């Protein structure tokens, strides 16, 4: 029987516990799970692709059959390259549905072999997004239980200029930081 390979694509800027929850749900379902980090985004990212790959690899290396790669261009072309037919996407709320439905249908139109599987994350992560993670951190909010420690460590490095790192969990926004979160 051929290997069941699924691709979980995203920006992952940064990865958070909602993403990780989905990955843990997928691992037992497929022989191989390829976490595909979008490399050529038009929108400005806080973390470089290399940083995102490094963080995610660190977090998922314990999962057998899970690999992390970057891609650019069409997702369906990347899927062909890795021999996958299944795209996994998380659906947090009804508000995600329209965008996800459009993408699923366009991907199937571009490559009829491709099917999209939607998965629901744990309820406690259903409001979580990478955009909110960056915004809340930059304004000094508490992200405990929402992002893994390696992400918190990198957020500190990005938002707190060298030499001014404080022990307090409250942080002031980093003035003039170029990778500031977008609206
Ligand atoms: O986590 P995100 O940012 O919502 O992920 C979006 C992603 C990476 C899945 C999507 O933008 C994508 O697949 N981009 C690759 C380009 C592409 O194939 N575009 C057509 C999609 S229908």
pLDDT tens for residues 80-89?
A: 999 999 999 9
Output the CA 168–ligand 1 centroid distance in Å. 37
pTM above 0.85, yes or no: yes
Tell me the C-alpha distance between 67 and 92, whole Å: 24
Q: Is the pLDDT of residue 75 over 90?
A: yes
How far is Cα 118 from Cα 114, in angstroms, rounded to an integer?
13
CA-closest residue to ligand 1 atom 20: 74
Tens digit of each residue's pLDDT (9 = 90 or more) over 127-147: 999 999 999 999 999 999 999
pLDDT value at 173 more than 60 = no
Compute φ and ψ for 30, nearest 5 degrees.
-125, 155
Task: Assign 42 a pLDDT band (cuts: 50, 70, 90).
Answer: low
The residue to mutate among 11, 107, 116, 128, having the most atoms of ligand 1 within 8 angstroms of its beta carbon, is 11
Q: 169 alpha carbon to ligand 1 midpoint, in Å?
A: 34
Contacts of 28 by beta carbon, 8 Å cutoff, 6+ apart:
none
Q: Which atom of ligand 1 is nearest to the CA of 110?
A: 22
Residues 6+ apart with CB under 8 A from 148: 15, 16, 17, 20, 59
Ligand 1 nearest atom to the CA of residue 36, by list position: 8
Q: For 97-128, how does the pLDDT look when each residue is reduced to its tens digit (9 = 90+)? A: 999 999 999 999 999 999 999 999 999 999 99
**pLDDT score at 95:** 87
């Amino acid at each position: 029987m051929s290997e069941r390979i699924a691709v979980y694509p995203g920006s992952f800027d940064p990865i958070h516990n909602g993403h990780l929850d989905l990955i843990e749900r997928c691992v037992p379902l497929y022989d191989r799970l390829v976490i595909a980090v979008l490399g050529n985004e038009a929108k400005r990212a806080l973390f470089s692709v290399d940083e995102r790959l490094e963080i995610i690899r660190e977090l998922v290396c314990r999962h057998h059959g899970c690999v992390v790669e970057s891609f650019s261009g069409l997702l369906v072309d990347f899927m062909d390259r890795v021999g996958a037919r299944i795209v996994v996407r998380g659906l947090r709320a009804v508000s995600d549905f329209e965008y996800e439905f459009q993408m699923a249908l366009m991907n199937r139109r571009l490559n009829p072999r491709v099917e999209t599987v939607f998965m629901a994350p744990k309820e406690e992560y259903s409001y979580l997004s990478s955009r909110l993670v960056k915004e809340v951190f930059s304004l000094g909010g508490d992200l405990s239980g929402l992002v893994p420690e390696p992400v918190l460590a990198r957020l500190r490095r990005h938002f707190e200029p060298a030499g001014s790192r404080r022990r307090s969990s409250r942080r002031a926004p980093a003035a003039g930081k170029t990778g500031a979160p977008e609206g």
